[in-house]
């Protein structure tokens, strides 16, 4: 059985993951409007990943005998200055998600909930990958100053990304 403290924190994380999905879908729409269809695709894949993450938390809470309590999702921003601003916001958001995951791990350790510590390790590893991926793209965008043929090439590369749910 999951403690009420852990249940509450995981429910908050479910909401945060769905917010992340909304944020990336909003970014996808913004990038689509800039005719950066590859980067729009990249963000749509992020949207799918975040929904997967939310459902992973959702299923875990239920599996542990907890109750999922969904609440309203905050409205995400819908405009950014340019492509570099979008990815700077993405990196900042992923760093906040990393902090949230680390706080959950700390709470699970404090509560001596080893099953939840183990469950959260997947998310710890995932956040290392997420931040590294965004940092790489942001560095490349800055190299080409977010424009020109370099941006065109990066956009074409981003078009190739697809979502494949990880195997259990």
pLDDT digits (tens, 9 = 90+) for 12-48: 999 999 999 999 999 999 999 999 999 999 999 999 9
3 state DSSP class of 161: coil
Sorting pLDDT into bands at 50, 70 and 90, what band is 128?
Answer: very high
CATH classification code of 4-158: 1.20.1260.10
pLDDT score of 56 more than 90: yes
Take residue 72 and report the two structure tokens written for it.
Answer: 């309203």
pLDDT at 168: 58
Q: How far is CA 129 from CA 57, 122, 125, 132, in A?
A: 19, 11, 7, 5
């Amino acid at each position: 059985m999951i403690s009420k403290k852990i249940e509450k924190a995981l429910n908050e994380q479910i909401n945060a993951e769905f917010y992340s999905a909304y944020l990336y879908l909003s970014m996808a729409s913004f990038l689509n409007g800039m005719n950066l269809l590859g980067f729009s695709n990249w963000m749509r894949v992020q949207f799918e990943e975040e929904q997967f993450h939310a459902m992973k938390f959702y299923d875990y809470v239920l599996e542990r005998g907890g109750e999922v309590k969904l609440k309203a999702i905050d409205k995400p921003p819908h405009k950014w200055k340019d492509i570099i601003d979008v990815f700077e916001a993405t990196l900042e958001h992923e760093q906040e998600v990393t902090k949230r995951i680390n706080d959950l791990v700390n709470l699970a350790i404090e509560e001596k909930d080893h099953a939840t510590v183990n469950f959260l390790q997947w998310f710890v590893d995932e956040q290392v990958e997420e931040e590294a991926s965004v940092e790489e793209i942001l560095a490349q965008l800055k190299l080409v100053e977010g424009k020109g043929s370099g941006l065109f090439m990066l956009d074409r590369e981003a078009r190739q990304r697809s979502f494949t749910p990880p195997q259990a």
